[in-house]
Amino acid sequence: MTMESIRIDLPDKFSLEDGTNIGLWYQKYLDRRYDQPEQGSPERVSPGQVLTNQVDGINNQIPEAYHRFYTTWKDNLINCVKAVTVVGTTNGRMAVNLGAASVAEVNVAIHHTYGVPYIPGSALKGLASHFAATYLGEEWKKGSKAHTIVFGTTDAAGYCTFFDALYVPDSGDPKPFNKDVMTIHHQNYYTGTNDSNPPADWDNTIIVPFLSINGKFLFAIAGPNDEWKAAAMKILKTALIEEGVGGKTNSDYGKFTFQENEVLQQRSIDVESYAIRKIELLRERPQPNRYRGEVINVMDQRGYGFINQASGGPRVYINNTQMPDGRRLSPGQILEFSIVQTPRGPQAREVVILLEPES
C-alpha cells in the first residue's frame, strides 16, 4: 500500500456541542480553515476568535460526573484532610493561566478531565505569600518565622498545603466561561520593534479574544496546626479581596467576595493577628470627613507624634491631649480621626482608637 492509496475524509467543520469537553476543545483544537466573515460583518475573523465564539456560544453545561467528583472532593477535604474550607464568589471576571501553552494566543485554567474552570493551588499560594511579605509587616517578610512556617522556602516546603480551588457546580451560574477581549493599541511600541515612532492614534489596533471566568470556587488549606491553617486562610481571603488572582488584576479581574456563613467546616476557627486586622482597617473607607492612619514617630517626652494617612497625603500631627480616655500615643496604633488645618499643618481631632499594636 502506498501513501497515494490512503484516503482520509475529514469533515468540512468540526462542531462544538453541549457535553463536549470545553478544556480539550479550547486548548487543543484550532481549525485554521476558518477564515470566513462573521454573519452580518464584512470583516474576516481569526481562528482564535472563532474558537472563543464557539465556547461562548454553547450552554457551558457542567458534566454530571463533575457534580459527583466535586461532592467527594469536598467531603474528603473536610472529613479526611481536616482542611479549612471556604467558598468565594468572583466580583466580576477572572483570567488565570493566560500565558500558559495553548493553540490559541491566550489560555485559561481548565480542569483537564472535566472541562470546568479551576484555580491552581500554586497560584493561590504565590498570591498569599506575596501579599503577606508585602503588606503584613516585618513578622511576615520572606525568611521570617511566620512566612517560612506557612509558605516554606526554596529549600523546604511550608506546613500549609494550598489546594486547587474547584468550581462550585451548584452556584446558579450556568455559564462559567465568557467571551472577552484584550485590545492592543500600539503593538510596535510595546514590543520595541518601532522605537523611532511613538504611539499614535492612527496605529492599527489588535483584538485578542480570550475566555474569562466567573462563578463560585471552593478554597481549601490543610496543615498540622489549626492556628496556622486559619491564619493562612485569612491571608488568602484578604489577598483575593484586595489584590485578586490571575491576570488583568489592575482592571479588577480575579477579585473575590466571601460570606462568613459560607464556611463549610463544622468548627470555624477565627484567628486574627494585628498585621491582618491592620490591613483590613486601613483599607476600609471611613465616613465622610473622617480619616484613618497609623501612628509613627512618637515623641514620648514631648507627648506628640504623627499619623501616616491610609489614603495618602501629608503626615498628620497628633498630641496626647487628643487621645480618648487618657490613653497615650504608641507607634503602630490604628486611629480614625478628623483633620483641622493649622499654620503648622494638618492636625488630628476627634480621635478613635481602632487597633492597638501587639505587645
**How does DSSP assign 126-184, residue by residue?**
HHHHHHHHHHS-GGGSTTSHHHHHHHB-SSSB-S-EEPPEEE-TTSS-S--EEEEEEEE
| Mean pLDDT, rounded, for 33-53 | 59
pLDDT confidence of residue 217: 93
pLDDT confidence of residue 338: 95
pLDDT confidence of residue 265: 36
Pairing of strands 304-309, 334-342: unpaired
CB 150 within 8 A of CB 210: no
Provide the whole-model pTM.
Answer: 0.64
The yes-or-no verdict on residue 268 having pLDDT over 50 is no
Cα–Cα distance, 132 to 275 (Å, whole number): 9
C-alpha 99, offset from chain centre = 16
How does pLDDT run across 227-240, given as a tens digit for each residue? 888 889 989 998 99
How does pLDDT run across 157-174, given as a tens digit for each residue? 888 999 999 999 875 666
Confidence of residue 264 (pLDDT cuts 50, 70, 90): very low
Name the least confident of 6-20, 182-196, 203-217, 231-245: 6-20
| Average per-residue pLDDT for the chain | 78
The yes-or-no verdict on residue 241 having pLDDT over 80 is yes
By CB neighbour count within 10 A (0-12 exposed, 13-18 middle, 19+ buried), where does 149 fall?
A: middle
How does pLDDT run across 56-100, given as a tens digit for each residue? 666 566 778 888 899 999 999 988 889 999 999 998 888 887 766
